[in-house]
Structure 1
Amino acid sequence: MKHFYAQDALRKAMSDTGAPEAPPEKAEFFLGGNPGKAWFVIAPSTAYVVALREDTVCAVFAQRANADEAHVGFSALVGTAPEPLVAVAQDAATLGPQDPHTRTAAYSWSRPEDKDELLFVLTTSDSPDATAQAMVSMSLVGKANNSFKAMPLRGTP
């Protein structure tokens, strides 16, 4: 979140931590076929991919995650916005994959007079075959249409 408006700082942070950049054929999956960059981050608990698209979408994919814990943490993080922004829970039915193994939640942050809003989306999967069991994204979208394209949790990178 802290790098959303300073994306060069995110690129530098990935470089400074030694996170390897994903080759284009692997990055394409995490970028949803859009231009951008993706990095692999290995942590003690799981592997992550940080994907930064050129169209204002930034996402983090976790290979393994506890869905309930991820949703509680997500709501705690984005369920309240810093003033003067207002957080609004969104209908996530069209913002993520829908099947018996997945669950999607979304919040937006904006001021009432704003035409755009920051949209935060979390999708989790309890399927052990999922490429990623959690994906969280942040993007700037128009309020009128929430023009955000969901990113996949299934498939092979």
Structure 2
Amino acid sequence: MPNEMLHLPKVDCLLKRYKGSPGALLPILHEIQETIGYIPDAVIPEIAHALNQSQAELRGIISFYHDFRTTPPARHILRLCRAESCKSRGAEQLAAQLRERLQLDDHGSSADGNISLRPVYCLGACACSPALELDGQVHARLNAERLDALLDACREDA
């Protein structure tokens, strides 16, 4: 039995709590992801049935929002800002450094499941560009050396 099946009773309780609430889908999806770490395929039919929506509609919504995951997350999630302010201060060079060092594309995860790389288009740290978010913590005024130190810390933590 897949590990996510252990969490389905929590999903049942969650669906009962939101039953009949307008606009319940996004809060349900967020809470499932916070609880399980991602939105497993096994819960899609249950959610669709509870909200009287098709599975295709749910999958479309999940794929539209870039923060939803349908697979278990990597141990470390690195989100590099690619907005104009960060680009003008060297984010593209940092992105190239990340791709080379991690051997990933901009939306990849390392083979060992340790680091996931995702671009974002504003972290709200424009005055301190370039910036990235690592496991929810923003690191600003980034340079190549500081980026290498962050990556080394992630690898040591593996």
**TM-score > 0.5, shorter chain as reference:** no
Question: Normalising to structure 2: TM-score of the pair?
Answer: 0.29
Report the structure, 1 or 2, having the larger strand content.
1
Report the structure, 1 or 2, having the larger helix content.
2
Question: Normalising to structure 1: TM-score of the pair?
Answer: 0.29
Larger radius of gyration between Structure 1 and Structure 2:
2
